[in-house]
Amino acid sequence: MDISLRYPSGEAFIFPVNPEEISIRRDKQFETFNLLPLGEVDVPQQERVREIAFSSFFPKIHDDRYCQCGGESNHPEPQAAMNRLTALMNSKTPVRLIISDTAVNVLTFLTSHNSTFKGGEPGDTYFDVTFRTYREMKVKTAGTQGPSARPDPKPVPKVYTVKTGDTLWAIAKLLLGDGGKWRTLYEKNKSVIGPDPNRIRPGQKLVLP
């Protein structure tokens, strides 16, 4: 299982260490009306916005035994990773949260995150995060018909532009759902990448299979 964020720009961030558990909260939303003969009446509405929460840590040193980020070259520095979460929490643009091997592939806002530093583990940063699924707001005005405009959820592109720190394994894991498909990705783009699949360069445009 991998937990990753995909930004509207196509940039991806993979949490390096899987949490022990992930909590997903679903509630039924009710609207209350006060009817004089009956008193208060609850009328069921749509499903309430879900909350997705988990705890993990950003290790200072990469360890292939438990790190999921596709190699040491993609390992995030703990303080930089926490700064990224802070910026995401302050952003007004939703980001897609993807948890492989589950049905979670949704636009979300990061609503809170807390960090903890433990004695005896210098450099490691522990954190708790809570995401709330994004719900588009539809507003109808007089004289208009049809659905209101909504932001583009940015589907997976057919062409991916390589960024600094990318590897074929990480790209295949994020966009194809299986890091083992890196070889298929390489064969389709061998003329662009060259004879060595480990030497992809920022700016190269890879066609997805």
Give residue 104's pLDDT.
Answer: 83
- Do 77 and 174 have their domain in common? no
Give residue 175's pLDDT.
Answer: 85
Q: What order do you get walking across the sheet with 22-25 strand by strand? A: 12-14, 3-6, 95-99, 105-116, 125-133, 51-58, 22-25
CATH of the domain at 187: 3.10.350.10
Residue 151 domain-assigned (yes or no) = no
Tell me how many domains the chain contains. Answer: 2
Give residue 130's pLDDT.
Answer: 93
- Do 63 and 132 have their domain in common? yes
Q: What pLDDT tens digit does each residue of the chain (209 aa) get?
A: 788 899 888 888 889 888 888 888 876 655 555 555 555 555 555 556 578 898 988 988 888 787 876 677 778 888 888 998 999 899 889 999 998 888 788 889 998 888 888 877 778 889 999 999 887 655 555 554 555 556 555 555 588 888 888 888 888 888 888 888 889 989 999 999 999 888 899 999 998 88
- Do 23 and 78 have their domain in common? yes
- Do 111 and 186 have their domain in common? no
**Residues of the domain holding 200:** 158-209
Residue 38 domain-assigned (yes or no) = no
Give the tokens for residue 38: 């009956």
Give residue 47's pLDDT.
Answer: 56
Residue 60 domain-assigned (yes or no) = yes
- Do 131 and 176 have their domain in common? no
pTM of the full structure: 0.54
Neighbours of 142 (CB within 10 A): 4
